[in-house]
Structure 1
Amino acid sequence: MAFKQHHAWFLVPSWGHITSANALISRMLQLNPDLVVTVVHHAMTFEKAEADIAQYEDIPQDRIRIVGVGDAEVAKLEGTKFMIVAFKQLCDGWLSTLEGLVEDGAKWPKPTALMNDQFGANLVLPDAKKIVGPSCKTFMHWTPSATSFYSFLAPGKLGGFADYEETVENYLKDDELRKGRERSEILEEVCKAKNGTDGLNGTVCKVPGRPDMYDYEREASNGPSPQGLAHMLCTMVDLAKSTDGVICASSEAIEGEALKTCSEFQKIYGVGLSVAPRGWSTGLTVKDDTIRTFLDKFEHNSVLYISFGSMFFPTTEPTHVTAFLETLEATSFPFIFGLGGRLATGTLESSLIDRINASGKGLIHNAWVDQQAILQHDAVGWFLTHGGWNSIAESLIAGVPMMVWPLAQSDQALNGALLSTGEKRLGFEFLQIRQGAAQGKAMRTGQPINGDLESVKEEFEDVFTKARGVEGERIRENVEALAVELRKERDGRADSVIKELAFV
């Protein structure tokens, strides 16, 4: 068969990016029988990515080719060095793969579209474009929320930093503003602030479809700032400006206003929530015997599931985690806590874990868990999350309301505001756990963010009480109604957008 469209994907070794892309790829292959897809992964995640795509039984496996590049052993390098080495290997392997795809006599047609991960793809995009030629379209794959994307595309005066270069140059030209700093130092601070200045100062930021907020309300400071943050953010902004469009894994049912506003700056393809078919199902079985036995003994919607994701944990104030667990115990709120993340290992005292596990009211699990199956269990009624978009998507599809504890300088605090504000709230957010520059009076509540342990404990108790009261039930009704709308959107509007992309 002579295929007509060929998409080549560049994906970094981040599990959330991989699963989101796989869900989209599978649907595009279903909608366009003339499409073939090549996906380039680093060897560190190659086997997991291959296993994930294999679950899509409805797609023809002979129309997707998964390529592993680099050396999986780099994961053993200390600190963040492994990511630097791995990224270099990924980029080299990506360009080498593209060269093979355009050779005469290749099995499939030359790529008609390059699908670029939001992280780092811009660094090799010029070379990639030279290889595939000017007729090949280029897209950016954005896995977080449209609300967070707005903060990248909007100018500084509106709460974004699309004009970061202009801001930096203004500081360099004014000795009083420059204060003897090098360009790289100014750039780092401008990118962290994302408000048109070099620091958080109470600038009022616009959030489409949600109440305005001060710049520091978008931050959390509950985890280490990633090295090279400015460089990472700048490459994302530059990539968005260099592509033919941005594929956003978001939903009009959740972020209609944000998607509309972003389209004023950039061509946006809102493809709906990109979750695997099992995440859209109901009644998945929890296969882990310990977890299943624990959950089975509790009533409908009574258990809180806790996970801070694969890459995050509240490391700056570990006393907050202890206070959080003690408050759950004191309020008799049953919970299961998954500690499978990279930063979670060894963070809790073994005596605390033993005491909680022996109580029968809580379960701390020191390994990866099947999050989708847990969210679909009848006993699970709430999900405490760091606010990563993939976790939020899985929870909303399952009809489970959330509590958001944002950690990093990313989209997490914005996602918390997205869920906890608006006419139909979808969850609660914790404000008092925020540290450093993230503290101050919250515009959207009028209350101060203190960050001290006593305020943190009071907020924990307040949220846990509300979650199991009238306010929590109203939020649950909103989430359950939204889950129905998300399914309708998946089979309607979102499919029409995906089909348009599939034929590029």
Structure 2
Amino acid sequence: MPSRHILTLLGPAWGHVLPYIHLTTRMLASDPELVITIVQHNVFVPRMFKELDSCSYDTSRLKIEGVGDKDLAVSLETIPLTMRELTAGWLSILAKSVIGGTAWPKPNTLHMDFSGGGLIIKESRALLGPEGKVLLWCSTGVAVCMDHFSEFDHAKTAREIYADEGRRAGRTMDEIIADVFCAGNGSDKLDGRILEIAGGLKIYDHEHIAQGAGSPRRLAAVLTAAQELAQLSDGFFCPTSNALEPVSVPYARDYYKQRGKELFLVGPQMHDDEWEAPAAGSGPKDERIKQFLEDANKKYGPKSVLYISFGSVFFPLETPHLVEMLIEVLLGLESVVPFVFVVAGVMASLPKETIDRIHASGRGIVCTDWVDQKAILKSGSIGWFLTHGGYNSLTESLSQGIPLIFWPVGAEQALNAAMFSTGPRPIGIELFQIRAGTQLGPSLRPEAPKITGTAEDAKIEFQQAFRDLKGPRGATLKQNAVRIAELWREERIDGEPVQEIARLTRF
């Protein structure tokens, strides 16, 4: 009979789900007496099983409990309903689980995704009882974890403002919370103050949140609730390690130790196949993509292709003219950079005439359906990844030693871009002229130009970035990316993440 049971709430976002799935298989391998139950919305459950189908694990020790309407369409508009169905289902399953049974014991520990967990943390704590533990799953680097969930208390700040009629200025509590979240500096207004991230990077407050995908206000309620989850939890676990965050990791360990919080840094979590050398005949199954990559290899050499994707959700909705300028630059470069542009996210689209122009040029290919990103990155054809800076994309790229060009558009992406294009081991180039909204303004980083956000200045920056990637700067970034890939493989076998996973299963 199993002696330990982890009950997990995962948010309705694939970038949060995917690394946890692979962490789950490693936790089960680490502790033969452990069982795990994952609660997720039914719209994601089939995709989870598909990912698990090719994984090696003890299927008798993992349950996936689906809740909610399986036919619900995935879109920005349905996220609130998805979250309500998910959290209601979670509380029902938790209430039954704490009774325990003859087969599986009641949960010892709750793993709660920051996206959703904060909305029902008090009820979950009450059901679990005083002896149970709660850990916050933060599917990003530890610098972002600290910045988003531990540095400020947006709800407390909002309450203080609301209690003062003059500062309230006729706003509702929800409006004040959104203003506090968007300021991200401990107040409800941007005022140019300097923020220090994880003991290293310094940025202006207006640089904190990218706005290319639209106003960040819609994230305010969930992420403010996540701060309450952080306060009421026993600690945090993140898919990162010292190899990627050599400055942030030691700082974070001391930071959370002083606050009496546990911290588990389990390393990047991906399918076992991603860590192995490409097998003969492997690569993307899509014949169109496969042929394009083969042709590019013959004509321009290996690792000559630029891969472009803004992920499964995001896209630069506020700056479509800059996307058009990027394409114009790519089609006009004297030193050709062939490219694959994936436009399949919830927000993503390109005009038909633009797609036709790309295909007619012979320099690029546009994919409007889902692609196997991991297979493309592992094909040996990709030299660079132009990305929004989502953490999954970042780690999938670096696992293959591929450096990045960052075009952040929302969520934590601005911090990822800033953190990983600077520091002792930079692995990418951050674009500045693609900024939008209140993020337009000066930057503290010495390499930043005067930021205007105009198409003409973006054109100059794009052209310089593509020159850099073929010059000494690009060579250094590639060397750093390859080194991180090597370190991750070493860590995965007998490094600190192995010990951290073992410790996590026992907590």
CA distance in 1 between counterparts of 2:159 and 2:62 reads 45
CA distance in 1 between counterparts of 2:94 and 2:161 reads 40
SS at match of 2:246: helix
How far off its partner does 1:260 sit? 2.8
- Tell me the residue number matched to 1:376: 378
- Tell me the residue number matched to 1:341: 345
- Tell me the residue number matched to 2:215: 225
How far off its partner does 1:337 sit? 0.5
- Deviating more after overlay: 81-90 vs 394-403: 81-90
- Tell me the residue number matched to 2:25: 26
User: Does structure 1 conserve the Cα–Cα contact (< 8 Å) formed by 2:311 and 2:388?
Assistant: yes
CA distance in 1 between counterparts of 2:288 and 2:69 reads 35
Letter in 2 for 1:360: G
- Tell me the residue number matched to 2:482: 480
How far off its partner does 1:278 sit? 2.3
Letter in 2 for 1:497: E
How far off its partner does 1:51 sit? 1.5
- Deviating more after overlay: 138-147 vs 307-316: 138-147
- Tell me the residue number matched to 2:243: 253
Q: How does 1:181-330 map to 2 (within 5 A)?
A: 181-208=171-198, 210-226=200-216, 228-263=218-253, 264-265=255-256, 266-283=261-278, 284-298=282-296, 299-330=301-332
User: Does structure 2 conserve the Cα–Cα contact (< 8 Å) formed by 1:209 and 1:422?
Assistant: no
User: Does structure 1 conserve the Cα–Cα contact (< 8 Å) formed by 2:307 and 2:385?
Assistant: yes
CA distance in 1 between counterparts of 2:466 and 2:226 reads 37
User: Does structure 2 conserve the Cα–Cα contact (< 8 Å) formed by 1:140 and 1:247?
Assistant: yes
- Tell me the residue number matched to 2:73: 75
How far off its partner does 1:465 sit? 0.8
How far off its partner does 1:170 sit? 4.2
Structure 1 unpaired stretches of 5+: 156-161
Please point out which of 482, 494, 497 is paired with 2:497: 494
How far off its partner does 1:209 sit? 5.7
How far off its partner does 1:390 sit? 0.7
- Tell me the residue number matched to 1:158: none
How far off its partner does 1:257 sit? 2.5
Q: How does 1:41-80 map to 2 (within 5 A)?
A: 41-57=40-56, 59-75=57-73, 80=76
How far off its partner does 1:356 sit? 1.3
- Deviating more after overlay: 202-211 vs 140-149: 202-211
Q: TM-score, normalised by structure 2?
A: 0.93
CA distance in 2 between counterparts of 1:349 and 1:359 reads 16
Structure 2 unpaired stretches of 5+: none
How far off its partner does 1:363 sit? 0.5
- Tell me the residue number matched to 2:436: 435
Letter in 2 for 1:5: R
- Tell me the residue number matched to 1:457: 459
- Aligned pair in 2 of structure 1 residues 70, 175: CA closer, same or farther (>3 Å)? closer
Letter in 2 for 1:464: F
CA distance in 2 between counterparts of 1:46 and 1:458 reads 44
- Tell me the residue number matched to 1:159: none
User: Does structure 2 conserve the Cα–Cα contact (< 8 Å) formed by 1:153 and 1:262?
Assistant: no
User: Does structure 2 conserve the Cα–Cα contact (< 8 Å) formed by 1:149 and 1:262?
Assistant: no
CA distance in 1 between counterparts of 2:501 and 2:469 reads 36
Q: How does 1:87-98 map to 2 (within 5 A)?
A: 87-98=83-94
SS at match of 1:297: helix
SS at match of 1:274: coil
How far off its partner does 1:231 sit? 1.1
Please point out which of 108, 112, 128 is paired with 1:112: 108
- Aligned pair in 2 of structure 1 residues 218, 35: CA closer, same or farther (>3 Å)? same
How far off its partner does 1:48 sit? 0.7
Letter in 1 for 2:184: K
CA distance in 1 between counterparts of 2:218 and 2:434 reads 25
Letter in 2 for 1:501: L
Give the total of aligned pairs.
491
User: Does structure 1 conserve the Cα–Cα contact (< 8 Å) formed by 2:264 and 2:500?
Assistant: yes
User: Does structure 1 conserve the Cα–Cα contact (< 8 Å) formed by 2:98 and 2:107?
Assistant: yes
**Could you list the per-position Cα deviations for residues 372-401 of structure 1 after superposition, in whole angstroms to 9, with x for gaps in the alignment?**
111111221000100000110111111000
CA distance in 1 between counterparts of 2:244 and 2:307 reads 22
CA distance in 2 between counterparts of 1:474 and 1:271 reads 27
How far off its partner does 1:74 sit? 2.4
User: Does structure 1 conserve the Cα–Cα contact (< 8 Å) formed by 2:153 and 2:227?
Assistant: no
CA distance in 2 between counterparts of 1:139 and 1:211 reads 27
How far off its partner does 1:8 sit? 0.7
CA distance in 1 between counterparts of 2:202 and 2:20 reads 31
SS at match of 1:285: coil
Letter in 2 for 1:213: I
Over the matched positions of the two proteins, sequence identity in percent amounts to: 35
What root-mean-square deviation, in Å, do the aligned CA atoms of Structure 1 and Structure 2 show? 1.8
CA distance in 1 between counterparts of 2:102 and 2:121 reads 22
User: Does structure 2 conserve the Cα–Cα contact (< 8 Å) formed by 1:22 and 1:53?
Assistant: yes
SS at match of 1:72: coil
CA distance in 2 between counterparts of 1:460 and 1:104 reads 58
SS at match of 2:99: coil
- Tell me the residue number matched to 1:123: 119
Q: How does 1:157-172 map to 2 (within 5 A)?
A: 162-172=152-162
